[in-house]
Amino acid sequence: MTKAQIGIMLEGQFGLNWERLEKIARTVEDSGYQCLFRSDHFSIGEDDDSLELWMSLNWLATHTERIEFGPLVTPVTFRHPSNTIRYATAVDDLSGGRLVLGMGAGWNEDEHTQWGIPFYDFPTRFDMFEEQLEMTERLLKTEGRVSFDGEHFSLKDAVLLPRPQRPGGPPILVGGNGPKRTLPMVARYADEWNAVFLDVATYKERTERLNNLLDERGRARDAVKRSLMTRVVYGRTDAEVKARAAKQDEDLDEMRADDRVVGTPQEIVDKLGEFVEAGVERFMLQWLDQDDTDGMAAMAEDILPHFHAETTPA
């Protein structure tokens, strides 16, 4: 058996409400998935339900028992870093240490404009993100007061209380594919690197790039977990696969050419296995049809036994 963790990723801006979250969370936990992650967006293009990120993660902390969960990812532009870290440590404590704090630089300009949030150019957002990571590391690892004087953010004698119950606080996940800015920040600050929609060959090249950066910093290569968020279209038959793809206006040939996780159970197992050989340790499979929890449960039954030692809670 090829070992890897497999979970579900939701696009929270595409209709997520309390009824759907409850049904999905129960399906994910009962079916044996390892984790449930969600995007942090207010809206993108459509007038759909969209639960506020931290309210929904707080709900997951108290309404699930086993799965890891978190944002994939929360943009630095949406909230001051000091607020994000306070929310994260509180939710992590409430869940008994199951939050993964996924962070990123933000990317959708229209969304920022719609909600009156300043949207900066690419270099500025990444500078802000690096300051956020520095502040987060200091607050999590320092027992006393913390001061920080950055170009975009600052702290003056701030102290994070109560201290996180989990030593070192929640693990830090950095999402993104960039070899020049993102991966060096991963090597410096992150506990997990999450790539987005990469093909197998590119993933292998980027994880080797990360290995070299970790070597340069004197960090162990296994200090950073490797994960991948990618699209999934699953069906037990070819007809089911085609029907789900058509419902979501997906081109199966294009998806397969891009190394998305598409097809019947054996096809999906084979594709996931290729990514595992390239270095992936955890998958967050993007499931767009939030009402199709039956399909989500069926995929778990067919796929998880090939990768998980256990597919049900102990």
Question: Cα–Cα–Cα angle for 140, 144, 150, nearest 5°?
Answer: 65
Say if 74 falls within a structural domain.
yes
Predicted confidence band of residue 118 (pLDDT cuts 50, 70, 90)? very high
Q: What is the CATH number of the domain that holds 44?
A: 3.20.20.30
pLDDT of amino acid 176: 95
Say if 174 falls within a structural domain.
yes
Question: Cα–Cα–Cα angle for 170, 42, 187, nearest 5°?
Answer: 35
Say if 281 falls within a structural domain.
yes
289: closest CA among 238, 227, 253, 235? 235
- For residue 311, pLDDT over 50 is answered with no
Predicted confidence band of residue 310 (pLDDT cuts 50, 70, 90)? low
pLDDT of amino acid 205: 98
Say if 253 falls within a structural domain.
yes
Say if 135 falls within a structural domain.
yes
Say if 314 falls within a structural domain.
no
pTM of the shown model = 0.95
Contact 235, 250 (CB under 8 A): no
175, two tokens: 């999402």
pLDDT of amino acid 48: 87
Domain residues for the domain of 215 are: 5-306
Say if 197 falls within a structural domain.
yes
192: closest CA among 171, 164, 176? 171
pLDDT of amino acid 2: 79
68, two tokens: 């890891």
Total of domains in the chain = 1
Predicted confidence band of residue 130 (pLDDT cuts 50, 70, 90)? very high
Say if 311 falls within a structural domain.
no
55, two tokens: 């309210």
Give the residue with greater pLDDT, 178 vs 309: 178
**C-alpha–C-alpha distance, residues 169 and 70, integer Å:** 14
87, two tokens: 């929310």
